[in-house]
Structure 1
Amino acid sequence: MPDFIYLASQSPRRSQLLEQLGVRHELLLPNVDGDEAEDAEAIESALAGEAPTAYVERVTGLKLDAAVARRARRGLPTAPILCSDTTVALGRTIYGKPDDAAHAERMLGELAGHEHRVLTAVALQWGSKRLTALSVSRVTFSKLTLEQIAAYVATGEPLGKAGAYGIQGRAAAFIPQLSGSYSGIMGLPLYETSQLLRAVGFGV
C-alpha cells in the first residue's frame, strides 16, 4: 500500500480536510487545455428529472472514472484515488455552482428561510476495488433580505460553491441550525472518507 493517495479535486477545502486527517495526498487534476483537455462542466450537468442523490452519486462516479483514466494515461505511480462531489438540494431541486453573481443571488433567495439538504458523495478506487459512501446533512438558512444576499454575494465567496455558499465562511452567520456532517457540508465527510480508506488498508 502506498503512503499517499491521489485527490482528484480542485477544491482547496477537500485538500485541507485530508490534511486534517493526516492523509498525505497528491492532486490528480484534469487538463484544461491541449490534446488531453477534459470537460469537467459536462460531467456535472444534471439529467432531466434526476433526483439529487442519484445525481451526486453519478457525477462522483464519472469524476472517478476520469481520474483513473488520467492516472493511467500519465503513467503515474499506482495509489488509491479519491473523488468527491457535493450538491445542495431543496426538495428535488439541485443547486450546483452558480454561473455568476446574479445566479448566486437567485439561489440564496430560494434557500433563505428554508431547510435544505447537502449531499456529498465519496468514491475511492484502489486497483479493481471501488468503494463509495454518501453523507447527507440538513442545513437551515435564516430569512435574508435582498440587501444581505447582495452584500454576501459581493464578497465573491458564493462563486464556485454548490448552493452559492460556504459554511466555513461568512455564510455561517445565516445558519441557525444544521444536522449531519460539518466536514461533509464543506465538501468531504471525514468520517465516511476515513472508513473508505481503512477498508482498502490505508492507515488513517
Structure 2
Amino acid sequence: MEFILASASPRRKDLLEQIGIKAQILPSEFQEASSGEDVYQLLETNTLGKLNDVEGKVLNTDKVIIAADTVVVLDGRILGKPADLHEAVSMLESLSGREHSVLTGLAISYAGKRNYQFLETKVKFKTLTKDEIYSYVNTGEGLDKAGGYAVQGLGAVFVEKIKGCYNNVVGLPLNLLYSMLNCWQIKTPKLK
C-alpha cells in the first residue's frame, strides 16, 4: 500500500512513521482560508481543499492520500500561525491561564472513495509570566505553529492539562486516522 501525505509538516511525517507508514510527501498548494466562516466549516474547507489539490496531481487512485489541517480556537476565534513576534506574544498572552481547543480536520481518499472527519482536543495553559512568554517567543519555535506554540517542543512546559488526543495537538490524530483507514480495511504496516 502506498501513502501520500498532502503536507510538508515534519511532525505529521514523523507521526505517520511512528505507526509504520512511510508516505511520499506531496505538499498541497491550496491557499487556506483563515477567517470568514464558521470554525468547523473553515476546517473542513481547508482540509478538503488540500485533499482536492493533491488528488489532482496524483494519477494512481490506488494510493492513499492523507490531508490534514489544524487550528487553535480560543473564544470562537481562530489563532493561526503568528505573522510576527508581536502577534506570537499576543497569542500566548491570550492563552495564558486558559483552556483552548485544538481541532484537526482529517481527509483521506483511496480508490475513488473519500472520508472526512475532525477531532477536538482541549488544552489548558498555566498562567504565563511576561518573561516566560518573551523567552519562548525568542526561541522561534512557535512562529510556524497554529496558536504560536509547539506542544511537542519547549511549549510543553506551558501545558497544565490535555483533555483528548495529544497527537491531535501535534497535528495528526493517529487514533482517528487508524479508525478511518480500518473502515476501508487498510492496515498500517506495523499493525497488520
Q: Normalised by the shorter chain, which TM-score bucket?
A: over 0.9
What is aligned with 1:94? 78
Alpha-carbon contact 1:88-1:117 (below 8 Å) kept? yes
Shift in CA distance, 18/173, structure 1 to aligned 2, threshold 3 Å: same
Q: Which amino acid aligns with 1:71?
A: V
What is aligned with 1:23? 21
Structure 1, gaps ≥5 residues long: 31-37
What is aligned with 1:133? 117
Alpha-carbon contact 2:34-2:80 (below 8 Å) kept? no
Aligned partner of residue 16 in structure 2, secondary structure: helix
Q: CA deviation at 1:157?
A: 0.5
What is aligned with 1:65? 52
TM-score, scaled relative to structure 2: 0.93
Query: Are positions 1:46 and 2:34 aligned together?
Result: yes
Alignment partner for residue 168 of structure 2, among 184, 187, 190? Answer: 184
What are the Cα deviations for residues 107-140 of structure 1, in whole angstroms up to 9, with x where unaligned?
1111111100000110001122101121100000
TM-score, scaled relative to structure 1: 0.87
Structure 2, gaps ≥5 residues long: none
CA-based RMSD: 1.4
State how far apart, in whole Å, the 1-side matches of 2:129 and 2:80 are.
22
What is aligned with 1:81? 65
Aligned partner of residue 21 in structure 2, secondary structure: coil
State how far apart, in whole Å, the 1-side matches of 2:71 and 2:96 are.
17
Alpha-carbon contact 1:28-1:71 (below 8 Å) kept? no
Q: CA deviation at 1:77?
A: 7.3
After the TM superposition, which parts of structure 1 deviate over 6 Å for at least 4 consecutive aligned residues? none
State how far apart, in whole Å, the 2-side matches of 1:58 and 1:102 are.
28
Q: Percent identity?
A: 37
What is aligned with 1:5? 3
State how far apart, in whole Å, the 2-side matches of 1:24 and 1:203 are.
13
Alignment length, in residue pairs? 188
Q: CA deviation at 1:45?
A: 2.0
Alpha-carbon contact 2:61-2:110 (below 8 Å) kept? no
